[in-house]
Amino acid sequence: MNQNYTTLSLRDALEKELLTALSTDFDTLEDNIDALSVRIYDGDVTLPEALDLYDLYYEQNIAGIIVNGNLTVTGPVIDFELDTYSCFLLVHGSLNCTVLAAGCTEIIINGNVTASEVVIGFYNHGIIDIQGDINSKLLIIDNHGATIKGKTNAATFCRGWQIKAADYTNWRHVLLPEVADTLLDEDGYLFAGDAELLKLLKDEQPVFKQNLGKASAANNPEPQIITWDQAKPLLQDLKCVYEEYPFAIAERQGHMTDVKFLLYNGTTVLDELDLDIEDYIGIIVAGDLQVNNSIINENTDGAC
Residue 78, CB half-sphere, CA atoms under 13 Å: how many?
25
pLDDT tens by residue, 230-276: 999 988 888 888 888 888 888 888 888 889 999 998 778 888 999 99
Residue 182 has pLDDT above 90, yes or no: yes
Which of 81, 110, 86 lies closest to 24 in space, CA to CA? 86
Residue 140's contacts (CB-CB under 8 Å, 6 or more residues apart) are 118, 119, 120, 121, 122, 156, 157, 158, 174, 192
Domain-wise residue ranges, the chain: 6-202, 217-296
Positive or negative torsion for Cα 205, 104, 85, 151: positive
The residue type at 48: P
pLDDT tens by residue, 196-216: 999 999 999 999 998 887 667
Residue 300's contacts (CB-CB under 8 Å, 6 or more residues apart) are none
Rg (CA), the chain: 24
Residue 171 has pLDDT above 90, yes or no: yes
Residue 127 CA to residue 8 CA, distance in Å, equals 23
Q: Which element (helix H / strand E) includes 200? A: helix 195-202
The confidence score (pLDDT) of residue 123 equals 82
pLDDT tens by residue, 43-76: 999 999 999 999 999 999 999 999 999 999 999 9
Is 14 in contact with 38 (CB distance < 8 Å)? no
Residue 185's contacts (CB-CB under 8 Å, 6 or more residues apart) are none
Q: Tell me the three state secondary structure of residue 55.
A: helix
The confidence score (pLDDT) of residue 161 equals 60
The confidence score (pLDDT) of residue 160 equals 62
pLDDT tens by residue, 117-150: 999 998 878 889 999 999 999 999 987 778 899 9
Residue 17's contacts (CB-CB under 8 Å, 6 or more residues apart) are none
Residue 206's contacts (CB-CB under 8 Å, 6 or more residues apart) are 176, 179
Backbone torsion region of residue 174, taken as left when φ is above 0, otherwise alpha when ψ lies between -120 and 50, otherwise beta: alpha
Q: What is the largest CA-CA distance in the chain?
A: 80
